[in-house]
Amino acid sequence: MTVTSTQSIRRTVIPARREASEAAATRSRAWTRLLDEVRKAGQYTTTAEAERVTRIVLSALGGHVVGDERVALARALPPEAARVVASQIPVTRPQTAAEFVDGVAARIEGATPATARWDVSSVLGVLPDLVGDDLIDRVLRELPPGYALLFGKAELVPPAAR
């Protein structure tokens, strides 16, 4: 026996708060802006390629930035990028900048140290304008010497003691 009802079921749709949807759109625009800047800096032909490289480089960086600087960097980045950085397990031993680039090269199919350096610099080089020089300077103080150039900054070496 089949029972059918002619009564319609009322469903209530609760509209999203305008502020919440505007905030989500702003966050999405920030991620898109980051990818556009990386695409331009790296001369990538597609946004998808820029996104792939951005995720790989930020995930590698996320393991090397720890403590307050990691928290500050995650807060300053678009949420999508912040999740990539913050989800990484900290490395057990600091890597030189060259080792960092080699590690990125190992994650990118067909990459050489030269192309990986280009990719790393294309991503890290746009961060100072996005999150501010002060924060990047704090991050650089926590990293071994040699990383500044990857961020597009000069590395000032203190004068040798006489």
pTM over 0.75: yes
Give the burial class of 43: count Cβ atoms within 10 A of its Cβ; 0-12 exposed, 13-18 middle, 19 or more buried.
Answer: exposed
Q: What is the four-CA torsion angle of 86, 83, 132, 149, rounded to 10 degrees?
A: 70
pLDDT the model gives residue 155: 79
Euclidean distance between CA atoms 111 and 108, whole angstroms: 5
Residue 157 pLDDT level (bands cut at 50, 70, 90): low
Q: Tell me which of 6-20, 81-95, 113-127, 136-150 is least confident.
A: 6-20
pLDDT the model gives residue 21: 57
pLDDT tens profile 16-36: 566 555 555 555 899 999 999
Q: Which CATH class is domain 21-151?
A: mainly alpha
Residue 2 pLDDT level (bands cut at 50, 70, 90): low
pLDDT tens profile 44-102: 999 999 999 999 999 999 999 999 999 999 999 999 999 999 999 999 999 999 999 99
φ/ψ of residue 77, rounded to 5: -85, 160
Q: Which tokens in the block code for residue 39?
A: 């695409």
Say which DSSP state 61 is in. Answer: H
pLDDT the model gives residue 28: 81
Domain ranges of the chain: 21-151
Q: Which tokens in the block code for residue 75?
A: 């807060």
Mean pLDDT, the chain, integer: 88
pLDDT the model gives residue 117: 98
